[in-house]
Amino acid sequence: MTTLILGGGITGLLAAWHLNERGESVEVWEAEPRIGGWVQTLTWPTEEGRPGRLEKGPQGILVRAESPADKLFKKLDLPLKSPGKGARWVGKKGRLIPVPAHPVGLMTSALMSWSTKFRMCLEPFQPVRPAEPEEGLSDFIARRAGRGMAEELLPPMVAGILATPPHLLSIDAIPLLRKWESHGSLFNGVRKSGISHLMVPEGGMGALSIRLAERLPLVRTGLRANRIEAQAEGRWLVHGTAHSLVVDRVILALPAFEAAKLVAPLSADSAEALAAIPYTSVKLWNSRHAILPPYHDGFGFLIDPPSGRPYLGTLVPSWIDKDCAPSDRMQLRSFIGDSTLWEDPHPEEAKDWAWTERRLKQWLPSLSAPFQIREELCPHAIPRAELGHRTRVRTAVEALPTHIDWLSNARFGPGVRDVIEGLEEWVEQRG
Ligand SMILES: Cc1cc2nc3c(=O)[nH]c(=O)nc-3n(C[C@H](O)[C@H](O)[C@H](O)COP(=O)(O)OP(=O)(O)OC[C@H]3O[C@@H](n4cnc5c(N)ncnc54)[C@H](O)[C@@H]3O)c2cc1C
């Protein structure tokens, strides 16, 4: 069986790699000149030409020993580096409050009120609810760990992962939470699943995309698929810019809104479900400064939404990935959310560098003026699993014609780790 995979992001490359490992014939088409989708490492030399880099999307990946991600990197012979344990903070009520490294430390932390802490201790004793019907993310956390937790800690954490307020999301926005609950409680789930560590492959996250592509027989770049037609004997003719191909099976490894366009002539139900999955845009300001202790030695900080929106927080890539900037520079990556989602008090203000620097200085008053800045726009970057997401995904997949499939982080979960685990299950189910 010959399979054409449309989309050379991490989902498409990884799906192709799995099929190729099983001896199947695969080809990948990627619309852009470079493979990787959001998983690309871009060069960013210093102003004097010293080497440096930044990530287009993920800054790193959470890996647990013997997990599918751990095994994948070993199979690909791609060494991982861990920055170790770094401090992280939540900006709340005008100050940066350290986040304890261990859940027990939360009991003495100023991050939450005493009543919230007390209720959190009762989490292991809450009954497990069946997976259906789909629950809202905030309601899930309130049910398990208390309303205080859902209101005091969840918003900055979710803003930092999904750039979306949690009350807009379904529990399927973070599939790991339901997996943990299936162990009896979140507490038990975390304990049984083991500790994950933040890791970065040598060469940056983009090295994962490059290594996967190197292991594939044919990856065509600059080739956008624009039409799929049914052929005799259940085969498919795929038209791309300047190239067409007849294959047995087509896998759409595309964001839902891109897949919807190709699927529309084949299945109205699937196309409608795909088009109904919204995506969140985000803007990033990358900047390089003089070293500022203690922040240069930590992961970064997230901002409690009422204290900053739509400024969501700042990571310290120079701590996460030591090769992204020279050792005398601190590299920051500040996230600006979409004003329409965040009740931005001043949506008319341009979210330019001057605006972002004012927010940064509010939390880091001693931060030096930047040596360099670089803006990165991420339009429609993160799938937004709103309530009803599970039904939309199910319909999108089940209403597809035979031998057409849709794979995406909108189906498996938002992160690279979710995609790795989701694809592993997908491959196993196919036998
Ligand atoms: C700013 C940001 C930060 C992130 N941080 C993290 C993080 O810290 N940790 C984490 O785990 N995850 C993170 N993620 C999420 C992670 O990047 C995604 O889960 C993952 O990259 C999704 O990969 P994908 O292949 O499904 O989609 P994409 O990366 O969107 O790939 C889809 C590909 O399809 C191509 N394409 C589109 N239309 C066509 C067509 N018609 N024909 C051919 N090709 C087409 C596109 O050009 C693209 O390359 C982040 C994402 C962003 C945007």
Q: Give me the CATH number covering residue 304.
A: 3.90.660.20
pLDDT-derived band at 369, boundaries 50, 70, 90: very high
- The pick from 198, 244, 254, 426 for probing ligand 1's pocket by mutation, whose C-beta has the most ligand atoms within 8 angstroms, reads 254
Residues 181 and 311 in one domain: no
User: What is the average pLDDT value for the chain, to the nearest integer?
Assistant: 95
Q: For 60-98, b where at least 16 C-beta lie within 10 A, e where not — what string? A: bbebeeebbbbebbeebebebeebeebbbbbbbeeebbb
Q: Which amino acid is at 187?
A: F
Tens digits of residue pLDDT in 131-172: 999 999 999 999 999 999 999 899 999 998 999 999 999 999
Residues 338 and 406 in one domain: no
Give the residue-averaged pLDDT of 277-282: 98
Tens digits of residue pLDDT in 95-144: 999 998 777 787 888 888 999 999 999 999 999 999 999 999 999 999 99
How many domains is the chain built from?
A: 3
91 in a domain, yes or no? no
CA distances from 382 to 150, 159, 198, 365, 426 (A): 22, 12, 20, 31, 21
Report which protein residue has its CA nearest ligand 1's atom 4: 58
Tens digits of residue pLDDT in 317-336: 999 999 999 999 999 999 99
The domain in which residue 228 lies consists of 2-39+204-278+386-430
Q: Give me the CATH number covering residue 126.
A: 1.10.3110.10
Residues 183 and 116 in one domain: yes
pLDDT-derived band at 431, boundaries 50, 70, 90: low
Measured distance CA(177)–CA(138) in Å, rounded: 12
pTM, full prediction: 0.96
Tens digits of residue pLDDT in 234-271: 999 999 998 999 999 999 999 999 999 999 999 999 99
199 in a domain, yes or no? no
Residues 51 and 174 in one domain: no
Q: Give me the CATH number covering residue 11.
A: 3.50.50.60
The CB of 12 under 6 Å from ligand 1? The reply is yes
Q: What is the pLDDT of residue 107?
A: 80
- Ligand 1 atom nearest to CA at 32: 47
Measured distance CA(398)–CA(240) in Å, rounded: 25
404 in a domain, yes or no? yes
The CB of 38 under 6 Å from ligand 1? The reply is yes
Q: What percent of the chain has pLDDT over 70?
A: 100
8 in a domain, yes or no? yes
Residues 208 and 325 in one domain: no
Question: In the listed set 151, 170, 192, which residue is the last one of a domain according to the structure?
Answer: 192
Question: In the listed set 192, 217, 236, which residue is the last one of a domain according to the structure?
Answer: 192
Question: In the listed set 348, 366, 383, which residue is the last one of a domain according to the structure?
Answer: 383
The CB of 271 under 6 Å from ligand 1? The reply is no
